[in-house]
């Protein structure tokens, strides 16, 4: 199954459930599917076709997630790049990926050249690439380039959907779970969290840049039920939560990856969150 069809089914199953939350922006699955279809048609009007690569140098914001889904809806390949990387590294990745379009944050808006995200939303709806071969590329993630130049790693619709489903299973996710979208969407952890939520009719609550106090606010206000973060971020959360003035009882499951977690940090996480489930996630790539 390709990811355009996967999103269409999610919208059919749970049209009124929240899919994305980003500050004051709250999108149900029905609204997300409609906006994605409009964005896909807008991308097509800019000359983007199936198989073309669309780069994005964006923080975790609703536009990033919507452009990802719009790429899947059109049958294009989404190439998210780190906004933390140097301009030289970003330029190299854009050229290496042969990106036809590059989305950036500029002057308070998300744009590609002279075209803004908002302008694309004025387009008619695209019917969706629901017939696309699931083995076609859907995403290209770039390695950090620690020992050389960054390398693009293409992933198929089937592989990424399987990665999202794997996360559902490993994390014991349940229908309607709500998670914090803090891990960057240029990384497999962030992307698979987004996909996992779509498979269970869950909600992906975006955090544009990491801030432990804001994250705790989001957990409490949005009644988040599951967290998937790097150990350093869990450390920030438990240290910032000292005093116990927050209600974090909605959190049912914790998962971490990217590094080992010390026994002391595990104990502190259990004290602060009291999770029913606690996972060291691995193997999704």
Instruction: Please write the tens of the pLDDT for every residue from 193-230.
Output: 999 999 999 999 999 999 999 999 999 999 999 999 99
Please state whether beta strands 253-256 and 277-280 pair in parallel, antiparallel, or not at all (unpaired): parallel
Supply the pLDDT for residue 46. Answer: 98
The pTM is what? 0.97
Instruction: Kindly state the average pLDDT of the residues 186-197.
Output: 97
**DSSP assignment of the chain:** --HHHHHHHHHHH-TTSEEEEETTEEEEHHHHHHHHHHHHHHHHHTT--TT-EEEEE--SSHHHHHHHHHHHHHT-EEEE--TTS-HHHHHHHHHHHT-SEEEEEETTEEEETTEEHHHHTTSPPP---TTS-TTSEEEEEE---TTSS--EEEEEHHHHHHHHHHHHHHTT--TT-EEEE-S-TTSHHHHHHHHHHHHTT-EEEE-SS--HHHHHHHHHHTT--EEEE-HHHHHHHHHHTTT--S--TT--EEEE-SS---HHHHHHHHHHH--SEEEE-----
Q: What pLDDT score does 284 carry?
A: 64
What percentage of the chain has pLDDT greater than the value 90? 94
33 has pLDDT over 90 = yes
pLDDT score of 65: 98
pLDDT more than 70, % of the chain = 99
Question: In the prediction, which pLDDT does 282 show?
Answer: 79
pLDDT at 245: 82
Q: At 102, is the pLDDT very low, low, confident or very high (cuts 50, 70, 90)?
A: very high
The set of residues, in sequence order, having a beta carbon less than 8 Å from that of 22 and lying 6+ positions away, is 61, 62, 205, 206, 208
CATH number of 29-157: 3.40.50.980
At residue 116, does pLDDT exceed 80?
A: yes
pLDDT greater than 70 at residue 29 = yes
Per-residue pLDDT averaged across 163-183, rounded? Answer: 96
Residue ranges per domain, the chain? Answer: 29-157
Say which range, 173-182, 217-226, 273-282, has the weakest mean pLDDT: 273-282
**Given a cut of 80, is residue 86 above it in pLDDT?**
yes
Q: Can you give the pLDDT at residue 182?
A: 98
Specify the pLDDT at position 144. Answer: 84
Lowest mean pLDDT of 47-51, 104-108, 139-143, 281-285, name the range.
281-285
């Amino acid at each position: 199954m390709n990811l355009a069809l996967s999103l269409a089914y999610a919208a059919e199953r749970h049209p009124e459930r929240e899919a994305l939350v980003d500050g004051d922006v709250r999108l149900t699955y029905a609204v997300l599917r409609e906006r994605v279809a409009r964005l896909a048609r807008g991308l097509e009007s800019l000359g983007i076709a199936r198989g073309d690569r669309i780069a994005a140098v964006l923080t975790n914001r609703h536009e990033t997630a919507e452009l990802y889904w719009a790429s899947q809806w059109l049958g294009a390949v989404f190439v998210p790049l780190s906004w933390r990387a140097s301009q030289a590294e970003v330029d190299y990745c854009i050229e290496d990926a042969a990106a036809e379009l590059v989305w950036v944050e500029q002057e308070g808006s998300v744009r590609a050249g002279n075209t803004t995200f908002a302008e694309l939303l004025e387009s008619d709806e695209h019917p969706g690439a629901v017939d696309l071969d699931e083995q076609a590329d859907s995403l290209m993630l770039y390695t950090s380039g620690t020992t050389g130049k960054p390398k693009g790693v293409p992933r198929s619709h089937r592989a990424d959907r399987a990665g999202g489903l794997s996360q559902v299973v490993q994390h014991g996710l349940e229908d309607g779970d709500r998670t914090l979208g803090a891990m960057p969407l240029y990384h497999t952890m962030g992307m698979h969290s987004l996909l996992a939520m779509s498979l269970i009719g869950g909600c992906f609550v975006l955090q544009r840049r990491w801030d432990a106090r804001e994250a705790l606010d989001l957990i409490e206000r949005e009644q988040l039920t599951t967290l998937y973060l790097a150990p350093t971020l869990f450390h920030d959360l438990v240290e910032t939560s000292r005093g116990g003035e927050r209600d974090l009882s909605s959190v049912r499951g914790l998962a971490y990856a990217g590094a080992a977690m010390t026994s002391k940090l595990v104990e502190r996480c259990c004290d602060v969150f009291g999770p029913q489930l606690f996972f060291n996630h691995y193997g999704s790539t």
